[in-house]
Amino acid sequence: MSSCSIKGYNGRAPAPRVGIMNDARSSQARLAEPAHPADPAGAVPSAGPVPSAGPARPAGKGRLPGMDRLPGLALAVGVAVVATALGRLAPLVGGPVTGIVLGVLVAVVVRPGARLRPGIAFAGRGVLQAAVVVLGAQLSLGQVLRVGVGSLPVMIVTLVVCLAAAYWIGRRLGIVGDLRTLIGVGTGICGASAIAAVTPVIGAAEAEVAYAVSTIFVFNIAAVLTFPAIGHLLDMSQHSFGLFAGTAVNDMSSVVAAATTYGGAAADQAVVVKLARTLLIIPICLGLAALVRRRARTAGGTAGTPGTAGTPGTAGTPGPVRVGRLIPWFLVGFLVLAAANTAGLVPSAAHGPLSTLAVFLITVALSAIGLSTEPARLRRTGPAPLILGGCLWLVVTATSLAAQFLTGHL
């Protein structure tokens, strides 16, 4: 998901920080890490043309765009092929789950180098988004609307309980406000995408973002490995498990992996629920932006009239959130293909091959996510954020099941 953007402050005072609960005891020193070293002269690299060091290379001899992604992408595809073969031997586990496990093992044993990282990053994000778009070709807009509206009560209850738990448990663990916010929205909405969207709104530090993403990643893997077993233990239907995965698992990759392992119908249900849940980041970002602006005006006192950031005589309040940038492109693509399928433009004979393609793309993406595991970063995270993430994971899981039971879905 694209991150929303907030215009900068006037540069004379640091941006006020805001969390789910940002009390006076919050100390940035607990998590501070040195930022990237700035230019000694404070200069920003010029965006203008760079003088040519010689004649331009003839066409065809230069490196094609995206070529740096090929080695890492090839590795992810190779792992996915092996995972798909093993998944056929153990259908209950499936290819996507096997892919993420194999990816983690390769990352721990071999530790892919810098040459492979661009392709691994592309496979983990771009290929997954393409898989979500392909899944849209198997659904109709009527299904999308029906599932989205029907799951709304469970989604809202789960999100509210998650944010409240992040506030309460995070305070008692002594976790600073911004980190509580990042872990809370990451667990309650859409994982790393929600963290990316909220980060510029609240001005979170890089260290906090890294800690939050690492924490979310751990419990993504835990959900992929345990949720299908929970579903079978509770004898959940495909519909119920899809709603469970779509509301209780935070990252799209893990939602798709867990649901695909349970069944094709569960995967279709889970993707629609998850995409509807993803849209909740818009009101959350708008609410946090309003809170930041109010605190900026309060910090600025009565000196000037509040207005746009950087305007003389203002309190340096942030500018408006660009709502359009919060809507991911793959959500649009998913709806376009669903509309095409509704109009009969996707032949029925193509549904089977498209489903197989989507599952393989998901396996490639999950393999790449496993390959991107950084054990050292997880160790640096420390116990407190992991404890908070684990508590929220359990809270969201229990709340989703309870809400389904109370609304008659379970």
Q: How confident is the model at residue 260 (pLDDT cuts 50, 70, 90)?
A: confident
Query: According to the model, what pLDDT value does residue 92 have?
Result: 60
Q: Convert the pLDDT of each residue in 280-290 to its tens digit.
A: 877 887 888 77
Q: Convert the pLDDT of each residue in 176-209 to its tens digit.
A: 778 888 899 989 887 777 787 787 778 777 667 7
Q: Cα–chain-centroid distance for residue 401? A: 22
Q: Which of 43-57, 164-178, 371-385 has the highest mean pLDDT?
A: 164-178
% of residues, the chain, pLDDT over 70: 73
pLDDT at 315 over 80: no
pLDDT at 14 over 50: no
Q: Convert the pLDDT of each residue in 317-329 to its tens digit.
A: 444 555 555 566 7
Q: 149 to each of 83, 92, 146, how far by Cα in Å?
A: 35, 30, 5
pLDDT at 33 over 90: no
pLDDT at 310 over 60: no
Long-range pairs of 263-266 with CB within 8 A, sequence gap ≥ 24: 263/238, 264/238, 264/355, 265/238, 265/239, 266/231, 266/238, 266/239, 266/241, 266/242
pLDDT at 116 over 70: yes
Query: According to the model, what pLDDT value does residue 100 have?
Result: 77
- Report yes or no: 198 and 211 within 8 Å, Cβ to Cβ: no
Interval 137-156 mean pLDDT: 80
Query: According to the model, what pLDDT value does residue 289 have?
Result: 79
Task: Give the chain's largest Cα–Cα span.
Answer: 71
Query: According to the model, what pLDDT value does residue 322 have?
Result: 58
Q: Convert the pLDDT of each residue in 326-364 to its tens digit.
A: 566 777 888 888 888 888 888 888 888 888 888 888 888
Backbone angles phi, psi at 288, to 5 degrees: -65, -40
CA nearest neighbour of 192 among 131, 143, 255, 114: 255
Interval 123-141 mean pLDDT: 80
For the record, the structure tokens of 160 come out as 């509210």
Query: According to the model, what pLDDT value does residue 251 have?
Result: 76
DSSP for residue 48: S
> Hey, CA dihedral for 261, 264, 265, 267, is it positive or negative?
positive
Q: Which residue has the higher pLDDT, 149 or 210?
A: 149
The residue type of 244 is F
The residue type of 50 is V
HSE-up (13 A, CA, CB side) for residue 41? 3
Long-range pairs of 104-112 with CB within 8 A, sequence gap ≥ 24: 104/221, 104/370, 104/371, 104/373, 105/370, 106/75, 106/79, 106/370, 106/371, 107/370, 107/371, 107/372, 107/373, 107/374, 107/375, 108/373, 108/375, 112/72, 112/75, 112/371
Query: According to the model, what pLDDT value does residue 224 have?
Result: 85
Q: Which residue has the higher pLDDT, 136 or 22?
A: 136
Burial of 387 from C-beta contacts in 10 A (0-12 / 13-18 / 19+): middle
How far, in Å, CA of 273 to CA of 291, rounded? 28
Q: Which of the residue ranges 103-112, 124-133, 257-266, 352-361 would you say has the lowest mean pLDDT?
A: 124-133
How far, in Å, CA of 397 to CA of 226, rounded? 11
Angle at CA 326, nearest 5°, toward 132 and 409? 55
For the record, the structure tokens of 28 come out as 């940035």
Beta carbons within 8 Å of 294's beta carbon, 6+ residues apart: none
| Helical spans, DSSP H, in 174-280 | 177-185, 191-202, 206-233, 238-248, 252-262, 264-278
Query: According to the model, what pLDDT value does residue 324 have?
Result: 58
% of residues, the chain, pLDDT over 90: 15
Q: Which residue has the higher pLDDT, 376 or 262?
A: 262
Query: According to the model, what pLDDT value does residue 80 have?
Result: 92
Query: According to the model, what pLDDT value does residue 381 have?
Result: 57
For the record, the structure tokens of 67 come out as 């070529």
How far, in Å, CA of 254 to CA of 393, rounded? 13
Query: According to the model, what pLDDT value does residue 215 have?
Result: 81
Q: Which residue has the higher pLDDT, 322 or 263?
A: 263
pLDDT at 383 over 70: yes
**What rounded mean pLDDT belongs to the chain?**
75
For the whole model, what pTM was predicted? 0.60
Interval 100-109 mean pLDDT: 86
